[in-house]
A and B are shown apart, each in its own frame.
Chain A
């Protein structure tokens, strides 16, 4: 069935380091892909999305490119800040377009 696999955490970085969180998906067809972020004590928030192959989603300095050849949607940021510390979830839309299928989440911890 459809699923999302993302790299296990925690990921621990120093401020201004480069971030990559890997995400791959399995699906029939080409689902929309998403990254959600959950800051401590808050609900999940949409960070960015891409709806078709080669689309690049971007927000708050984060980017991810929809790669159908590698079925991947890796999250990147050139210079992380302490305030980026959160749990990041990769997700895809299900076939019917009625729900999201999430990965297990990756905890990012950034220290100054």
Chain B
């Protein structure tokens, strides 16, 4: 169990550029989640996958955001035409669906849009 890995840890970009983040969940976990956290706030749910299927998307996830989980393993979150309001910590979490489901979080990717 190597934990949930996110890459990169930090990303600085200029407004209007596209960015992509990667998340590698714990290997046997079939659920994967993306959350966003801004300064002084708790994490807010963006979307989740069960295996390769994206089952739910928050209304926070505008059409500039897209997430994929090909083959039900790692996931990517892409933000197109970034805006300054996209600056936040993007958190990935994974879990194994079941009675005592427990979420394991990665350390996050800190995005700064200049």
Residue-wise interface mask of A (88-100) relative to B, using a CB-CB cutoff of 8 A (1 in contact, 0 not):
0101001010111
Instruction: Give the dominant DSSP class at B's interface.
Output: loop
Within 8 Å of chain B (Cβ to Cβ): is A74? no
Within 8 Å of chain A (Cβ to Cβ): is B103? yes
Binds A, one of B11-19, B37-45, B65-73, B75-83: B37-45
Q: A102, B48: Cβ atoms under 8 Å?
A: no
Instruction: Give the dominant DSSP class at A's interface.
Output: loop
Within 8 Å of chain B (Cβ to Cβ): is A105? yes
Looking at the assembled complex, report how far the CB atom of A58 sits from the nearest CB atom of chain B, in whole angstroms.
15
Interface size class of B (residues with CB under 8 A): 20 to 34
Q: A104, B42: Cβ atoms under 8 Å?
A: yes
Query: How many A-B pairs with Cβ below 8 Å?
Result: 46
Identify which of residues 40-69 in chain A touch chain B, using a CB-to-CB cut-off of 8 Å: 41-46
Considering residues A43, A45, A46, A98, which has the most beta carbons from chain B within 10 angstroms of its beta carbon?
A: A43
Query: Which residues from A are CB-within-8-Å of B111?
Result: none
Query: Which residues from B are CB-within-8-Å of A4?
Result: 42
**Which residues of A are at the interface with B, using a C-beta cutoff of 8 A?**
4, 36, 41-46, 89, 91, 94, 96, 98-105
**Which residues of B are at the interface with A, using a C-beta cutoff of 8 A?**
3-4, 33, 40-45, 48, 55-56, 58, 91, 93, 102-108
> Could you show 23 A-B contacts with beta carbons less than 8 Å apart?
A43-B91, A43-B104, A43-B107, A43-B108, A44-B91, A45-B105, A46-B102, A46-B103, A89-B42, A89-B43, A94-B45, A98-B48, A98-B56, A99-B45, A99-B58, A100-B43, A100-B45, A100-B103, A101-B45, A103-B42, A104-B40, A104-B41, A105-B42
